[in-house]
Structures are given as C-alpha cells and as structure tokens.
Amino acid sequence: MKKIAVMLPIGYRGGSLRAAKNISKSIAFQARKHGDDIQVIFSYVKDGKYNLETEFNDLREYGIILRETTWQVYPKEVLQAVINLIDISITHLEFPNYCLPSDGANDFYDCDLWLIISDRLPAPLFPLRRYACIIYDYIQRFVPEIFGDSNEIWDIQVSNWFSLVRNAAQIFVTTPSTHADVISYAGVQASRIHLLELDFEPINPDIIETPALHIPENYFIWTTNASFHKNHINALDALEIYLQELGGTLNIIITGDSSEYFDIENKFDSRDPMLLVPQIDYVRKKLSKNSNLGKRIRALGNLSDKMYAYVLKKAKFLWHPVIYDNGTFSAVEAAYLGIPTLSGRYPAMEYIDQRFELNLRFFNPRNPKDMAETLLKMEKDATTIPLPSREILLERDWKSNSSAFYQAIIELLW
C-alpha cells in the first residue's frame, strides 16, 4: 500500500478547507475507481478548532484517515544529527531552523508522499519524505499591505516559503496568474509546475427553511474574513455611498470565518484577542460611528453548509469586494443555486468567470465610488443576469476533474 498525506498546515476554514478536502477526496475517489492500493491521510492542525463530528464526515465516507498535527520547529544542529542517522539526500542545511509535522505517532514518516496545501509553514520544511505543494496565490506580491509594517520579519517568512516550493518535487496551481507568479516571483522552473483544472463542491439545493436563523428581507451576501486583502476599508466606504448617497435599498448579510466580530450588536469579552485584529477593530469602529450603516448590516459568522445554503438561496446576489487572491468558488456555488455575483476585477476571478461561464459583473475594488455604483446597478439587474445550468456546472465539479490530477499525483509515488 502507498500512503499519501494531504497536509493543511494552518487552521483554514471556508473555501481553503473545502479545497483541501476536495483534493483529498479526488485522490481517494480515483484510487478506488482504478483499484489502486492507496491510502489517503488528511492532516489538520489542532488550532483550527474543527468540529470532528461534522466537518470531516465527507472524508470518512471515502475512507480517508484523519490525523491531528503539530508543526514542530527544530534548530538545524538537531536535524544535522538526524541526517547522520538516516539515509536522506540532504547535504547542506542553509537555514537556522526547520519544521516537521508531528502526529504523536509515526509523524508521517510512514507516508510515501506529502502533499502540502499552501506554503504557509512556520519554517523551511525538513524533507524527510518526497513532497509536493499546492500554491493558490501570492497575495503579498499584489497587496503588500497585508504584512503591515513588519517588512523584515515577512522578508524572512517569504524566503522560507520560497524554499519550500523550490525544493518540491512538483508544484500544483489552479490559475494561470499563480502559474506565472510561481515562475517569476518564487523562481520555480515551469517544467515543475502543473496547472490543475478548477473544481468545486456543489451545494445541496434542496435546503429546507431554517426557522432558527432570523435574517432580514431583501439583502445581498458579502462573504469575507478578517484578512486585509478582503478590502474592508474600501468596501465599507462603498456601502456608505450606496446606502446614503445613492439610495440603495438592500440590506447586507456578512458571512465567513470570524465575521461575527463585525456585528456591533454582538457582545464580546473586552479581553478577546480577536478584537485587536486590525480589520475587525476597524470595521467595529466604523459601524459604531455610523449607526445608519450598522443597522443595515448583519454579520452571521462562519455558517454550516446547510445554513449558508439557506441564506444564499434567498439573497439577491453575492458580493465579492476582494483586491486580489486565488478567486472564490463562492461565486460558482452561488451560480449553482441561481444567484449571480458582483466581484472585484482581478485575474483569478476573470479566469473563474471564463472557466465556469458565470457571467460575473465586475468593479474596481480600489475605487469605492465605482463599487457603490455597480452595487446600485446590480440591485436593479440581478434577476436578469443569465447563469449556467446546474448540469453544466456539475461537469466541472471536483469529481469530474479528478482524473488528470490523480495521474499527476501517482507519478510522484514511484
């Protein structure tokens, strides 16, 4: 039996977690289909605070083993002693520290391949096993503000990330823009980069009403989290213009990881460290100063799939005011439920639009006035925007696109 460890080294939720699970299921599904003796192991970090009873049920259905993981950092002197004891092809350790995954048992040394989702490790990887990476984006290249003022610290961190991808057996990306960035920014040869087909997991459209969830009438959804690239400053400025200057009539429902902190009606312990996150602090202060804006916004936090589908089905449209990232499959999920999307224009979203024929409406995410004007237009036009059928979208879900990825993965096992 061959074993592949799919590793999510940060406690991501939302789209990042869903993508990592789809990768795992793709391998397990194709291995079962071909009769290959391959075991998939999904590595998650403890600080992700996942609900193990519900969030990983779909992985268990495919026989995927779950392992809680801690990423340990070791000085190179300790690892030099390891090199002297085991047969691995490492002759020089150029960094002062390295990291390794620990599951409290075999520490993934029993796996034949490590597939690391993203490059966000705490230090360069000490490669006890052959590994590959899936890189979704290099946001810092286009939104340097995401790092704040700690340029020197982040220079070191980015160097660590580059070390990971430059020494990987294979790099997988999901958009042409990230493919170009891995070459020109991270310095990886094009021959070691594989462009994956985009895929998504369809939401069950047959969601019954959830009476326990009280939401206003006539709204659009803003999916976000507390990261800088989500563009909260421009987004709130745009909402002010839309509601107060242009007479917009729709309410706003915010969903996503930690978004419950954006609702000023929610009371939190003043010692809660999340209140110190710059974007959360900014949004709460902004809404506190503008009561009219605060009354039109409801922040629900990270919803279950069932509740999110319920809220999404009743929305007029989805709003995605992000500056830059790897794009969001929330737009595809929305189209599957018959809901159009209004998005910031950047390469990954243009690619998703073309790939899934979503007929997205775009705006300049750095221009609040343009954002507000397109919101008003979307309010009027949302019901007239043609969307792809569910049948067309299902031809591009993770299961339909898993074959080519699987072939690329199993080539790394031998």
Q: Where are the domains of the chain?
A: 2-199+398-410, 219-394
E strand or H helix that includes residue 2: strand 2-7
Q: Does the pLDDT value for residue 237 go beyond 90? A: yes
Q: Which pLDDT does position 305 carry in this prediction?
A: 82
Q: What are phi and psi of 357, to 5 degrees?
A: 55, 50
Length of the chain: 414
Q: Which pLDDT does position 120 carry in this prediction?
A: 85
Give the residue-averaged pLDDT of 147-173: 76
> What is the band of 251 on the pLDDT scale with cuts at 50, 70, 90?
very high
Rg of the chain in Å (alpha carbons): 22
Strand segments (E) across 81-179: 97-102, 113-117, 131-134, 170-173
How does 70-85 read in b/e, with b if 16+ C-beta sit within 10 Å? ebeeeebeebeeebee
What CATH number is given for 2-199+398-410 in this structure? 3.40.50
**Same topology between domain 2-199+398-410 and domain 219-394:** yes
E strand or H helix that includes residue 41: strand 38-45
Distance (Å, rounded) from C-alpha 334 to C-alpha 311? 11
Q: Which pLDDT does position 160 carry in this prediction?
A: 73
> pTM of the prediction?
0.87
What CATH number is given for 219-394 in this structure? 3.40.50.2000
Q: Sign of the CA dihedral 198, 199, 200, 205?
A: positive
Q: Please, are residues 390 and 17 in contact by the beta-carbon 8 Å criterion? A: no
Give the strand pairing for 65-75 and 97-102.
antiparallel
Strands across the sheet with 251-255, in order? 297-301, 251-255, 219-223, 318-320, 341-344, 361-363
Q: Does the pLDDT value for residue 199 go beyond 80? A: no
Position of tokens 């007029």?
316
Q: Which pLDDT does position 155 carry in this prediction?
A: 62
SS3 category, 172: strand
